[in-house]
Amino acid sequence: MSDFRTRVEGERPYLLRYAALQLRDRPTAEDAVQETLLAALAGEAAFAGRSNLRTWLTGILKHKIVDAIRRASRESPLAEDDDAGEFDALFDQSGHGRDMPCAWADPDASLEQKEFFAKLEECLSRLPAKTAQAFMMREHLG
């Protein structure tokens, strides 16, 4: 097995965590990562080492995630989320949140805590699926 292939396969756990966070569906995330690894191995010559291997693979994965989201949107009906009413109840007539969020003492330190990611995942699971997906795409995929 080549050194490049070993290094690429070594990034699989990271890529899977990243894809699972974005797609919130383990089988779809695994498919996106598999497609990423295959594309990377097929395009080994395109990796000239000008960037970090993880950065290069994440770039490929982002495209695979967008493809998976597009594929899913074509396969599912364009109906609104069933729980949109629950989401709307969080806001008043003017569009402001009904409850003010707690202030964070040090946001940078909070980002580094596992509890933050657990809470983020919990919050995302309570949002309508399309809203959570749009949020994650905006934050991580630009």
Contact 141, 41 (CB under 8 A): no
Count CB neighbours of 79 within 10 A: 6
Q: Are residues 11 and 70 in the same domain?
A: yes
Domain that holds residue 53: 1-78
Determine the Cα angle at 134 with ends 132 and 136, to 5°: 70
pLDDT of residue 73: 79
Q: Are residues 73 and 85 in the same domain?
A: no
The pLDDT tens digits for 106-129 are 767 766 677 777 888 888 888 888
Collapsed DSSP state (helix, strand, coil) of residue 97: strand
Query: Of 33, 63, 78, which residue sits at a domain end?
Result: 78
Contact 135, 124 (CB under 8 A): yes
pLDDT of residue 65: 93
Query: Of 29, 56, 78, which residue sits at a domain end?
Result: 78
Q: Are residues 17 and 41 in the same domain?
A: yes
pTM: 0.56
pLDDT of residue 40: 93
pLDDT of residue 82: 57
Collapsed DSSP state (helix, strand, coil) of residue 110: helix
Q: Report the candidate in 11, 9, 29, 12 with the shortest Cα–Cα distance to residue 20.
A: 29
Q: Are residues 111 and 65 in the same domain?
A: no
Low-confidence ranges of the chain (pLDDT < 70): 1, 76-85, 101, 104, 107, 110-112, 141-142
Q: Are residues 45 and 65 in the same domain?
A: yes
